[in-house]
Structure 1
Amino acid sequence: MALRAKQFDIARQFATEALKSNRTDRNAVMILAHALLGQDRADEAIPPLEKAARRGNDPEIETLLGHALCKARRTADGIAQLRRTAGRRPPYLPAFQELAGQLANTGEIAEAIGIIESALALAPTSIDLQLDLGRMLVRNNNRTEARRVLTAARTIAPARTDVLTELAWAQLLDGAFAEAADTYRHALGLRPDDTLSRANLAICLMEIGERASGEAALRSVLRGRPHMLGRAAFAMATSSRGRFFFRPSAAAKFLEREPERAATP
C-alpha cells in the first residue's frame, strides 16, 4: 500500500525489515527495488536484484534488474540483461517491452521496432504490444504504418483510451485533422478529464476551420488549471489557423475571457 501511494521511504523500511527475517523473500526484494527506484537510488536497487536473479529463473526480477541497470547509467549492462531475459522461453513479454524502450532511449528506434515485432510474432493478439509498436513507428516517423497498426488495435479494443489517443496523435501528425478530431472525441467520451487530448483536439478543430470550437476547448483545458497555460498557448500557436501571443499574460487574458456572443437579429 505504501508503494502504491508513492510513500517510497516507508515502503523501503518495511521491505528492509522483512528481508532481515527472510533474505530470500522475493516480494520484499521487489518492493525494496521499486521503492529505491522511486527515490532515484537505482545503484542501491541493483545488488538485491542481482542476488535474487542468481537464485533462480525469475523473468520479472531480471527485467527489473535490467531497468535498474539502465537507470543507473549502466545502459550496456542493462540492455545485455534484458536481451538474455527476452531470449528465455516461455517468453516474458514485459522484457521485450523494456528492452525496446531502452533501445529507443539510446536512439536505436529501428532495432526497438524489430524487438516489438518479434514479440508480436510470439503473442499476435497482445494489444499492449500493438500499442508499443504504434508508438515506436510514430517515433520513427513512419506515420502510415503506425496508423495501420493502431487502427487494428482500436478495432480489437475500442475502449482503450491509450490506443485511441496514440492513434489520434499519429493522425494529427499525418495531417488527417478531421479523423484525429473524431478519434480524440471518442477518447474524451471515455476519459473527459484528459486535458492533453482536449488540447490536441483544439489543434485539430482549428486546423479544419472550427476556430471557435477549438478555442472553447482550450478554455476548458485552462479553466482551474493555470499550469496548463503553456500547453494551451502552444496549441494555439501550433495551428496554422491559431493565434500567437508574445506575452503569456496576453494568452492567459484571451483564454480566460468568455467568447463574444453573436448579436440576436
Structure 2
Amino acid sequence: MTDATEPFAISISQLRKCFDHVAALEGLDLQVAHGCIFGLLGPNGAGKSTAIKMLTTLLDPTSGSATVAGFDIARQPVEVRRHIGYVPQMLSADGALTAIENLNLSARLHGLHGAQRRARVKDAIAFAGLEASASKLVRTYSGGMIRRLEIAQATLHNPQVLFLDEPTIGLDPIARRTVWERLEQLRDKGTTILITTHDMEEADTLCDELAILHQGRLAVVGKPDALKAQVGEQASLDDVFVHFSGVGLEQDGNYRGTRDSRDAIQRLG
C-alpha cells in the first residue's frame, strides 16, 4: 500500500546525469502525485529514458536526488525495486514460454510462492484478458496481447509505482485503447504510473499531468488542458509539444530513433 506520509509518489530534486562530460539530464526538479498517470514527453535525446533508468535504479545519477515510493534511489535501490514495476520498450516477455509460465517466473522473482502465487497469476491472466490463450506460446500472440501480458507481469507484486516506456508503440488503434483501459484500471486502484510517449493522443487521453523535457532540461509541467490553454485558445497537445520543445513532431527523430521504433513495430506485430 502507498505510504500516506509521503507527499509524492516520485520526488526529484536537481537530478543530473552526465556521460563523458555531456549532460543527458540537467538539474531535473519534478514531483508526481500519488495515484495518477504522469506523462514524460520530449524529442529523442531529451532525457526521458535517462530519467526513467535512474528512477528505476538502472543508472546511478551524477548528482541530485530522487525518491520513489518513499525510498531514495541512490541509498535504498533494493527497496525502490521492491516497490516498482517496469515495462521497457524492449520485449520483456519470453516468446518460448506461455503466458502462465511467464507470469509464474515473474512471481517467483518477486518472492511470491504457493497459494499466493497461484492467486496472483490467475488474477493477472484475467486482468490481461488472456484466459483463452494463457497456455499458448507468447510468440503466437499479437502485439496488444504481448503488451497486456507485460503489464500484468510488472504488476504481479502490486507495485506502488509503475514505469512504462512507450507502452503502445507499434500497436493498432484497438489494441492501443485496450492497453489504455488496463492502465486506467491500475490508476483507479491507486497505482501511480509514469509513462514516456511520443503519441500526443495517448498523452492527452491518459495523463492527469505531464512534463515536457528539452535538451535534458524541464521545459514545462502541468495538466494537459491547462497547457493547451496556455499556448492558445484552440491549441492541441501537438501545439503544446512544438511550443515548449521547439521541435516539430515531424522532425522528432533520427536514424536510431526510427530504427528502434521500427524494430518495436516488427516485434509487436
TM-score normalised by L of structure 2 = 0.29
TM-score normalised by L of structure 1 = 0.29
Q: With CA pairs under 8 Å and 6+ residues apart, which has the higher RCO, 1 or 2?
A: 2
| Larger helix percent | 1
